[in-house]
Amino acid sequence: MTIRVAQSGDSSTIAALHSLCFETPWPHETIIDFIANDLVLVSGDDVDGFIIVRHIVDEAEILSLAVTETRRQSGLGSSLVMAACEQLHQMGVRRLFLEVAADNHPARSLYEQAGFRQIGLRKAYYKRAIGPNGDAIIMAVDLPSHPIVTKN
């Protein structure tokens, strides 16, 4: 499994994967902007998964993480999170945040296994086409004490 920094040529594939995985997909132009200005890691040449992270000084936020349906439960999502943690730590980031839908149990489990802990809740944060809006759980991990960082 190869994880690498995304290149501009990956934008269409990332946008297509994002639209398959999320109810409100981001426009292609937004993906291009993230690749140009933020940390975007992808898996392999065919982009089986991606993680998009925005960082400012010593804090960062995972904005999106997606894995193709055929690669879910393979450890790819976890590998993308760990690779981002390593790279962010090398960039001087001390704390990494994210928001995850409260009812997205697989994603919550992945983040908890990666060391993230709940620090807050945003009620009715996610707009849903059907049914009530979904709550977002705010999670964070301190990178200097993260196992992937302290093993070196």
Reported residue count of the chain is 152
Helical segments of 23-152, H only: 28-37, 76-90, 105-113, 147-150
Burial 36-51 (b: 16+ CB within 10 A, else e): eeebbbbbeeebbbbb
For 134, list phi and psi in degrees, rounded to 5.
-95, 145
139 alpha-carbon distance from chain centroid: 12
Catalytically active residues are: 99, 111
